[in-house]
């Protein structure tokens, strides 16, 4: 007898939420997994779990215990550890894996971008003289930047996890997707001179790059980390096609 289809979605992105909605609408049995980085994650139409799996071995055990037949890695492009664990666990468990990965941003005419390989290089790329920096990198790697005390920082976060003295910066609580109009206003209101961003790709956070292009602001763009080769698609429809084949 054929094993019933059961999909694990490793989530945390807008695309992952769109996929969960599509799977639920199609009546696909599945589980949505959050890493637990935010205190109030977006509610999903699939049964949801929050937290880590306990490395490769823990994820492999979860796949077997929950009778998972297919895994879709729709995590953030910089969630390299989770993605690497998924590659190894799925290979060991014999479970097909597909990555839903939004294309990286590409520079356009008028962009003033400097590509750097990692957080440390992004810190080094900032000017030595005082600057007003929009740090669009999440909350995980703020300390190296805040150690550069000559700069003023604008942080846009989902959770109120950090307070900054007014002379050091400002925390804005917001959740994407963002608009060009909103980010244009943000850059102007806080007198931003530089932007630091991960090359996350997708439309949800691209507005700041368009707003920066309009003002000819320099953008320090952190390249994506290495992840082992795995089958990859760029949109939800392609994942649904993969699932449809599996259901045949």
Q: The domain spanning residue 93 has which CATH number?
A: 3.40.50.720
For the sheet with 7-10, list strands across it. Answer: 48-50, 30-34, 7-10, 70-73, 97-100, 232-233
CA of 7: how far to CAs of 173, 221, 242, in Å? Answer: 33, 34, 11
**Residue 246, pLDDT score:** 81
Whether residue 97 is found in the same domain as residue 153: no
**Residue 135, pLDDT score:** 95
Is residue 30 packed enough to be buried (19+ CB in 10 Å), middle (13-18) or exposed (0-12)?
A: buried
Whether residue 212 is found in the same domain as residue 152: yes
**Residue 2, pLDDT score:** 64
Does residue 208 form part of some domain? yes
Number of domains in the chain: 2
Q: 186-196, pLDDT tens digit by residue?
A: 999 999 999 99
Other Cβ atoms closer than 10 A to 241: 12
**Residue 42, pLDDT score:** 83
**Residue 205, pLDDT score:** 87
In this structure, are strands 30-34 and 194-198 parallel, antiparallel, or unpaired? unpaired
**Ranges of the chain with pLDDT below 70:** 1-2, 37, 39, 248
**Residue 39, pLDDT score:** 65
CA distance linking residue 168 with residue 3, whole number of Å: 57
């Amino acid at each position: 007898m054929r094993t019933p289809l059961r999909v694990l979605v490793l989530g945390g992105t807008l695309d992952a939420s769109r996929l969960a909605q599509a799977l639920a609408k199609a009546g696909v049995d599945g589980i949505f997994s959050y890493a637990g980085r935010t205190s109030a994650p977006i509610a999903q139409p699939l049964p949801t779990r929050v937290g880590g799996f306990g490395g490769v071995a823990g994820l492999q055990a979860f796949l077997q215990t929950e009778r998972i037949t297919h895994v879709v890695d729709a995590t953030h492009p910089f969630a390299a550890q989770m993605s690497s664990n998924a590659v190894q666990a799925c290979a060991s468990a014999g479970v097909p894996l597909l990555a839903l990965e939004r294309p990286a941003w590409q520079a356009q005419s008028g962009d003033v971008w400097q590509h750097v390989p990692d957080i440390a290089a992004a810190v080094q790329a900032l000017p030595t003289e005082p600057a007003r920096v929009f740090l669009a990198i999440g909350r995980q790697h703020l300390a190296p930047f805040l150690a550069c005390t000559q700069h003023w920082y604008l942080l846009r976060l989902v959770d109120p996890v950090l307070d900054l003295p007014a002379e050091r910066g400002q925390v804005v609580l917001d959740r994407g997707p963002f608009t060009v109009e909103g980010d244009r206003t943000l850059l102007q209101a806080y007198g931003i001179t530089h932007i630091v961003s991960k090359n996350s790709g997708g439309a949800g956070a691209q507005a700041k790059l368009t707003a920066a292009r309009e003002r000819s602001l320099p953008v320090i763009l952190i390249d994506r980390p290495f992840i082992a080769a795995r089958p990859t698609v760029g949109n939800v429809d392609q994942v649904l096609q993969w699932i449809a084949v599996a259901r045949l």
